[in-house]
Structure 1
Amino acid sequence: MSDTKAITIEDNGSKGRYVYRADGHEAEMTFSRVGTSQIIIDHTGVPDAFRGQGVGVALVTRAVEDARASGIKIRPLCPFAAAQFRRHPEWHDVLVDR
C-alpha cells in the first residue's frame, strides 16, 4: 500500500490519529501535539488483515508528508515509527533534534 491519500486524519487539537480503513478493518497511528511545532507518534496498530501490505509504513509516511507541509517536527516514541525513521534517513528533516 503506497497511496497515502487513502489515509484520513482525525485531529481534535491536542491528540489525533491517522486512519486507514478497508474491507471492514482499520489501522491507526495515534499522535499527541506538543504546542504548535511538534507531534509525538505514540502508537501504531495494524490488524492482521493488513500485515505485509505496507500499511504501517504508509501511515508514518503520511505523517512525514503532513509535517513537511505544515513545518512541524515529529518525535517517534512508538517503536514501529521509530524503526521506520531509522530505515528512512530521508525523513530526518522532520525528526525532532535529540
Structure 2
Amino acid sequence: MNSPDDPNDAAYCELPTPKDQRAPSTRSSAPLDIRIDADSGRFVAEVAGAEAFIQYRYEGADVLHLIRTWVPPQARGGGVGALLAEFAMEHAREEGLTVTTSCWFIDQFLDASPQYQDLRAG
C-alpha cells in the first residue's frame, strides 16, 4: 500500500471510507490550526498527534491542483478533511486561483459546496 509521503503517487487520497462503512466518531468543536507548508506543497494541520494534509502543486500561474488528502486514522470522520478542503478553497479564492483535483475527497467536497463552484478550473 502507498504511504501519504510517496511523492510519486499522484492518485493517493486517503480519508475515511464511505459513511456507511465507518465507525461512528465525534466531531471536534475545537478550531483546527491549518498552515501552508510551501516547501512540501501541503496545507497541514496537526491532529491526534499526527499531520493531516492536502498536498498541492501549482499548474501555471493561476491553477492550484489538489493532489491528495490524508487524515490520520484516529482523526477520520471528524470533519478534518472538510476543514482542510475549505482552507484550500479559501486560499485559492484569496490568491485569485482556480482549482483542479485528482482526489476523490476534494471532488466530493466541491460537489457538495456550491459556494466554491466558481473556483473549478474550466
**TM-score normalized with structure 1 length:** 0.87
Query: Quick one: distance in 2 between partners of 1:29 and 1:60?
Result: 7
Match of 2:56 in 1: 31
Larger radius of gyration: 2
Gaps of 5+ in 2: 1-27
Partner of 2:38 in structure 1? 11
CA distance in 2, matches of 1:65, 1:74: 11
Deviations, residues 8-38 of structure 1 (Å, cap 9, x unaligned): 11113xx610111034211111011111101
Rounded to whole Å, the distance in 2 between the matches of 1:49 and 1:25 is: 9
The CA deviation string for residues 68-87 of structure 1, in whole angstroms up to 9 with x for no partner, is 11100110211110111011
Q: Give the aligned partner of residue 83 of structure 1.
A: 108
Contact preservation (8 Å) 2:55, 2:69: yes
Whole-Å Cα distance in 1 between the matches of residues 36 and 47 of structure 2? 15
* Cα RMSD after superposing both structures: 1.6
SS of equivalent residue, structure 2 residue 78:
coil
Q: Would you say how many aligned residue pairs link Structure 1 and Structure 2?
A: 94
Q: 2-side partners of 1:39 and 1:33: how far apart?
A: 5
Q: Whose strand proportion is higher, 1 or 2?
A: 1
CA contact (8 A) 1:25 1:49 kept: no
Query: 2 CA distance for matches of 1:69 and 1:38?
Result: 13
Rounded Cα–Cα distance in structure 1 between residues aligned with 2:36 and 2:75: 18
- SS of equivalent residue, structure 2 residue 41: strand
- Ranges in structure 1 where 5+ consecutive residues have no aligned partner: none
Partners in 1 of 2:61 and 2:84 — Cα distance?
21
The percent of aligned pairs where both chains have the same amino acid is 30
Name the TM-score, length of structure 2 as normaliser. 0.71
Q: Is the 8 A contact 1:17 1:31 kept in 2?
A: yes
